[in-house]
Structure 1
């Protein structure tokens, strides 16, 4: 019983923090707002998270761990079933991220939190994400490098950076292409994934004719 209660308190705090960070940013959200929103006392936040910085990290971990596992699983499957093919590798990178954005349980709020992370340049968070999830980019980088061996490491990482940016933009649904009313979320997401994968593949394969 105690464990279930604990879990729900921790989850309530994370859910409240995610919504408030999405709305007001990290700097603009106080722990007091979080406790009020989650209907817990400050002791509960300190007990579960210790600090605001750690609470921010855990909001990311709650979403990113599952997405990362899905990405790496799909990457392994792509490498096993379609060795040397770029499209399945890119699909493994893109699809789990777009699925997260569409998650009914607050995925939309989390995507706005990601946008905040870009805007606020929170160094502690940046280090946390790099320490915990940097290996994912490296694994995808290695897999993609084998498909485009003519790219230097620097060129490859520039291009991966741009693909990641385009993916974040697509996740946030900031784009000019809004989902038409008669199209379901999942069909729209499928379409977005398809177009983004094609775009990423073309960008990664672009020749380097104009290199200075």
Structure 2
């Protein structure tokens, strides 16, 4: 079901919200511009005016979420990077916790389904966009992991970071087996998720 769009939002925000919902459900190729304009209550001219193309619309969906997320990640990383007493857990927390905070509400969780779609569909154009705009964030985290895990080869380190990123995306998208119980608040559930995921990732990253 399409997430209801708040009529008080700007036209641009309504288009972004409708597109995010459609892409999460049907993928980038499966959602047509006609479906998008119908869900957003706008005409095609409005989409073209604000975004120019479907590709640029997709990019804007990612920018409005990932800019803030990765700024938060880098701020958290800056507090621990390069310090003598920094642990793998500290760095993983800087990477994982801001992402879980993003997914705490319905719209954030919806975006993570869009992100999962992006990787599942092997969209090379989108992957290039993500690499060009956010690759520097992963490089900074990778450098800190490499400092703390000098015994790992570059290839092995990349494997482990990739697997941790996949586990995080899975946890954020709500596809997993562990669902929040009705008597557990969203805040408590998110903290439980963070603790379990960080412990799991520490073990995976630190394994000889």
TM-score (norm 1): 0.89
Once residues 36 and 169 of structure 1 are traced to their aligned partners in structure 2, the CA distance between those partners, rounded to angstroms, is 30
1:93 paired to 2:95:
yes
Q: Are the aligned partners of 1:84 and 1:146 in contact in 2 as well (CA < 8 Å)?
A: no
Which residue number in structure 2 is paired with residue 41 of structure 1?
43
Runs of 4+ in 1 over 6 A off after TM superposition: none
Question: Which region of structure 1 is more displaced relative to structure 2, 73-82 or 110-119?
Answer: 73-82
Alpha-carbon distance between aligned partners in 1 of 2:34 and 2:99, rounded to the nearest angstrom = 31
Cα distance in 2 for residues equivalent to 1:82 and 1:64: 30
Shift of 1:89: 0.9
Which residue of the other structure, out of 45, 55, 58, is the alignment partner of 1:56? 58
- The answer for unaligned runs of 5 or more in structure 1 is 1-6, 208-212
Q: Which runs of 5+ in 2 are unaligned?
A: 1-8
Work out the CA distance in 1 between the residues paired with 2:39 and 2:81: 45
Question: CA contact under 8 A between 2:109 and 2:174: conserved in structure 1?
Answer: no
Shift of the 113–204 alpha-carbon distance from structure 1 to 2, 3 Å rule, reads: same
Deviation at 1:79, TM superposition (A): 2.4
User: What TM-score results when the alignment is normalised by the length of structure 2?
Assistant: 0.91
Q: Identify the residue that residue 155 of structure 1 maps to in structure 2.
A: 156
Distance verdict in 2 for CA 1:156–1:80, change over 3 Å? closer
SS class of match (1:149): coil
Match of 1:26 in 2: 28
The 5 Å alignment of 1:52-201 reads: 52-79=54-81, 83-104=85-106, 106-201=107-202
Match of 2:18 in 1: 16
Size of the aligned set, in residue pairs, is 200
Deviation string 1:116-174 (CA, Å, 9 cap, x unpaired) is 11221111111111111111111100011111111111111110011001111111222
Deviations 1:193-212 (A, max 9, x none): 111111111111111xxxxx
